Each structure stands twice: as structure tokens, then as C-alpha cells.
Amino acid sequence: MTHSAGLGDSAIRLLPELFLPKDMYHSPVPRPRMVKVEVCVVAVFVVEDDKAVRESLVLFLRQVDLQPVAYESAEALLNAETLGPDDTVFVDIGLPGMSGAELIHCLYQRAGRPRIIVVSGKPQHVLERELSCFEEAQILRKPLDADSLASIFPENGLH
């Protein structure tokens, strides 16, 4: 129910004219056009137990217009997220608890697995042994640098 505060019906009739241009007041308002837009939402996740490395990686990714979500353990990621094939996961191979290799194995078992970027400071021969089953995983060596990170997302104009 509309109340006019004792001004009568004329106040109600005049009210739209106060807010709308005269040419719109007595003409039908055009409906907005509906446009179908397909959106591919790419999510980026960082799983790193070292707070300094985790925060610096997140900061870099934000500087290239990505919005990463960071976790300090594999278990935290698996409990919180549903990952898809358009997602990217940065995984520290030396995680406590569930190791990075175990997390990668778990992600490889899923249909529509995400893109996996291994982050490690371990020697090459150790990585080759731990990751022998995961040939598709890309490897970033610690300490991380801007050029190696830029090579991961060339579509963001970094390389």
C-alpha cells in the first residue's frame, strides 16, 4: 500500500515525473537485451606450507590479474575445493602430512583433473623419482623468480 502522507492522489501521480525524464514517463520502458555469454572461470590454488613462499607466490599471481586461493596443506585444499580441468594448482612437493606427490596422485585420479604446477627446491633426481608417474606436471624450481612464473601464464601477457 502506498502512503502519500496526506498529499492526496495528485502527489502519487506526480512522483514519477520528479525522477524520470518527461519522454520516459508516458512511454513504455524498453526491456534490456538478453545476451548469452559463456564464462570460463579459471581458479588458481596455491598449496604451500612455507608461509613466505606461499605469500610471495600469491602476491605475484595477483599482480598478473589472477585471484589465487592459498592453502598450507593438501588436506585443507581437498576439504575445501572442487577442482576442475580449467583450474591450476601450484603444489609444494614437500608438504607435511599428505605430501605433494600424494596430492598430485589424488588429483590425477579424478575425472577432469586440474593443471598441476609442482613447486620444489629438491634435487632433480629426487623430483624425477617422486614424479615419474606424473609426466604432465610442470615444475617450478625454488627459489621462484618472475621469469619462471611468467612462463606458466603466457596468456596474461607476461612472456
SS3 of residue 159 by DSSP: coil
pLDDT digits (tens, 9 = 90+) for 23-36: 555 555 555 566 66
Q: Which three cell numbers stand for residue 48?
A: 604451500
> Do residues 74 and 103 make contact, with C-beta atoms less than 8 angstroms apart?
yes
Place of cell 588436506: 75
pLDDT of res. 17 = 47
Q: How far apart are CA 147 and CA 119, in angstroms?
A: 14
- Who wins on pLDDT, 75 or 8? 75
Q: Is the pLDDT of residue 14 over 50?
A: no
pTM above 0.75, yes or no: no
Q: CA 29, CA 18: separation in Å to the nearest integer?
A: 16
The predicted pLDDT at position 132 comes to 77
How many Å apart are CA 69 and CA 46, to the nearest integer? 6
- What domains are there in the chain, each with its CATH number? 44-156 (3.40.50.2300)
Q: Which residues contact 43 (CB under 8 A, 6 or more apart)?
A: 69, 81, 83, 84, 86, 87, 88
pLDDT in tens, 66-119: 899 999 999 999 998 888 899 999 999 999 999 999 999 999 888 888 999 999
